[in-house]
Amino acid sequence: MPSSDHQDLICTLTFLMASGKLEATDVLPTLGKLIADESNSMHVDTVIAALVELRTDEATDLIAKLRKARIQEAAKYFEQRRLGDPILTGFEFMLGDLPLGAPIGWVSNDAALVTLRESLRLARDWRFVRGEQKHAPQTAAHIEDKYQDALNNGPIIAGDVSDAIILQLTKQLQAKLASADEFQNEHANAHLSKLHSVAQQLESSIVELDEIDVQGLMAKLNSERDSGVRQKLIDEYCTNPNVEMAQVLLGCQFDFEEKQRVTLILTSRFGSQPINGWNAWVNWLRRCERQRDVEQKKISEFLNAGLGELFLLWYAAQPDADVGLIVAIDEWCQNTTAKLNADRFVERWSSIVPALE
């Protein structure tokens, strides 16, 4: 709070402004400078804490208004970031105690699904045209170049698909091949063992963003008694862009002040809720949790539709890729992939398919 050097002046100017004897537009610039000079690190949470100590009805009403103003300011901050405003000033006093600048929204797998869909289409077109090289050599050569480029520099190799999805793909392929007739012999067991080894390597190297220990994070905060440590954990949880944090936050036990902080941080990242209050955020987090389950199911179903082709697009570019495993999976794909519709193939590649082909 301001020191005694300017405190009387600040109090007097504030009273004159509040009583209507001076216009706010005339007083605020001077008040702002006095407060900034005296306490560059002061935020509104400090004011709220001081008002709480007063324990008066008037202070209680003022605290409620300040809390509401903070939420409105957090929503304004979100809107400016959402619209790409590069100048985010003027929020220091109302929100300066919060970890601002965290990613807006959750990390989504929508882009990864688009990448997987386009990659699978290319892989199947390549497999189809491989058998048509005699009839369509130019088309086959063009798609072969596209496929080889995808193997070496494509979006799956570039990291557009997370390690977690690649791990899920590898495990689903491993389970599928374990029950396939072609893999029921001693030689095939070596391929399955190699596939298991690939999954283990992925599991051990997965980035932190993809790996959330939901129960562990809940227990960590719920068992912590130090308020400073709890606040640090809350800030970490609320700014993590992984949607699994919705489940973590739902399982954490917060006191009233902590709920206020969670509300403010989430508002700064996701915008305001149509209805005010903690229950609105609890319901929103539950919807996020359900949406995440739907997304995971969608990814699993899509991976199942192209297990071998998608795995090869990733695995063939790995420095330690096993040629025998690549050949075995390629043969399995050749025997199990449904035949492509030739008319749709021509429609997709109409811009490059010569008339004679």
- Ordered by start, the domain boundaries in the chain are 4-95, 101-357
Mean local confidence (pLDDT), 112-134: 88
> What pLDDT digit, counting tens, does each position of 161-194 carry?
888 899 999 999 999 999 888 888 777 788 899 9
Res. 40: pLDDT tops 80: no
What is the predicted pLDDT for the residue at 209? 44
The backbone region for 159, taken as left when phi is positive above 0, alpha when psi lies in -120 to 50, beta otherwise, is left
Burial 185-207 (b: 16+ CB within 10 A, else e): eeebeebbebbeebbeebeeeee
156, burial (CB in 10 Å: exposed 0-12, middle 13-18, buried 19+): buried
Contacts of 283 (CB under 8 A, 6+ apart): none
What is the predicted pLDDT for the residue at 1? 45
Mean local confidence (pLDDT), 244-260: 95
Contacts of 222 (CB under 8 A, 6+ apart): 251, 252, 253
Q: For residue 38, what pLDDT band results from cuts at 50, 70 and 90?
A: low
Contacts of 335 (CB under 8 A, 6+ apart): 182
**251 vs 229: CA distance, rounded Å:** 18
User: Which two structure tokens, joined as six digits, stand for 22?
Assistant: 């001076």
Contacts of 252 (CB under 8 A, 6+ apart): 218, 221, 222, 234, 237
> How many CB atoms sit inside 10 A of residue 335's CB?
11
**168 vs 47: CA distance, rounded Å:** 50
> What pLDDT digit, counting tens, does each position of 198-233 carry?
998 888 877 544 567 899 999 999 999 999 999 999
> How many CB atoms sit inside 10 A of residue 347's CB?
10
User: Which two structure tokens, joined as six digits, stand for 308?
Assistant: 């071998």
What is the predicted pLDDT for the residue at 46? 80
Residues 219, 225, 229, CA angle at the centre, nearest 5°?
A: 85
DSSP state for residue 243 in the 8-state scheme: T
8, burial (CB in 10 Å: exposed 0-12, middle 13-18, buried 19+): exposed
Task: Identify which has the larger pLDDT, 219 or 27.
Answer: 219
What is the predicted pLDDT for the residue at 2? 47
Percent of the chain whose pLDDT exceeds 70: 94
Whose tokens are 């990814």? That residue is 299
Mean local confidence (pLDDT), 316-335: 91
**302 vs 317: CA distance, rounded Å:** 22
Query: What value does the CA radius of gyration of the chain take, rounded to a whole number of Å?
Result: 29
Q: Are 306 and 333 in contact (CB under 8 A)?
A: no
Lowest mean pLDDT among 26-40, 92-106, 278-292: 26-40
Q: Are 93 and 43 in contact (CB under 8 A)?
A: yes
**59 vs 11: CA distance, rounded Å:** 16
Mean pLDDT value across the chain: 86
Q: Single out the residue of 291, 327, 302 nearest to residue 168, CA to CA.
A: 302
